[in-house]
A and B are shown apart, each in its own frame.
Chain A
Amino acid sequence: MAVTIRRLEESDEVEDFDCGDEPLNNYLKRHAWTNQQKVSIGVTYVAADESAPHGVLGYFTLATSSAPRDRFPQKYVRGLPPYDLPLILLARLAVDKRFYGKGLGHALISEALKITVRVADEVGCRCIITDAYPDKAGWYARYGFLPLEGTTTIGPIRMFLDVRTIRRAMSQESSPAERE
């Protein structure tokens, strides 16, 4: 299976997509295209098999956002520029159940993080934020996402990954144990 990751197209066949989570299925089927093309509140990237290029195996959605610097505690603002903190929001990431265990989630987050670095290079952003389901927080933590304190005890956990950490990863070798 040769997988490509590209922007969602209108002709993509999304109706059969099933990641096992109805809100994530529904977003792709009902809202992703509209949000991307008409109201411009999120860009969705899909993983597709080159042999069936319009079938969707997985997807993620990105948007830019910012955190209001004037609500940061004074003790932390000294190291930050005098503007709201620009960031990328990884709004959704899902893999179709039929393709679990094939490394698609890894490929999707890899592409999302590469786009994050490109955006940081071109227009500036400091970090990537995601709201992870509690049972998926461990998966994001493997990639270095750190939970923010103060998120609700039920529902998604807001997680943070510094762009500087991602940049450092681009220039480092993985350890021998991990490579095996």
Chain B
Amino acid sequence: MPSSVKAESKKVTPLSAKTPSPRKLKFQADLAPSEDSMVRVLKAELQMTSNTDFLSDALALLRWAVSERKRGHHIVSESSTGVRKILLFPRLERVAPEVTLPHVDIQWTDKELESLAELASGQPAAPTNALIRAMRQ
């Protein structure tokens, strides 16, 4: 039988009819015994007593990981000797941008920037046939 972890919401007494408290969500998950054990060990290591705090911290960590990966950043651990490991987590890779390129600075002359601004602010040129072929390849 799977164990179960409940993140209980506290009972809230409304202060007044005009200021209703936001409804708190109850979250219940069925965990395999090994996962239940993992939760207990982690809670002990982190000195947590409530499942709500555990879930809240896990959510904050996942939210940060998702936001970093969405920006194309890698999540890396580095040991004291400089050995680096990159986290590869399939679900996180779903939110990562397909292509990420590094940023470099280009030295521009004023005339180049004027020419660039003129081209970029105007109507785009019609594609050449070589370009059309390249994009259809």
A: residues with CB less than 8 A from B are 40-43, 62-68, 71-73, 76-80, 85, 88-89, 91, 106-107, 109-110, 113-115, 118-119, 122-123, 126-127, 129, 142-144, 146, 148-151, 158, 160-162, 164-166, 168-170, 172-175, 177-178
| A172→B106 contact, CB < 8 A | no
Sample of 13 A–B contacts (CB below 8 Å)? A63-B104, A73-B114, A76-B114, A79-B121, A80-B117, A129-B116, A143-B130, A143-B134, A162-B119, A162-B120, A162-B124, A162-B125, A169-B135
Give complex CA distance A142, B102 in Å.
27
B residues 76-109 in Cβ contact with A at 8 Å: 97-106, 108-109
B: residues with CB less than 8 A from A are 72, 97-106, 108-122, 124-137
| B110→A143 contact, CB < 8 A | no
* CB within 8 Å: A-B pair count: 163
| B98→A122 contact, CB < 8 A | yes
Known A-B contacts A65-B104, A80-B121, A127-B120; A148 and B115 likewise in contact (beta carbons under 8 Å): yes
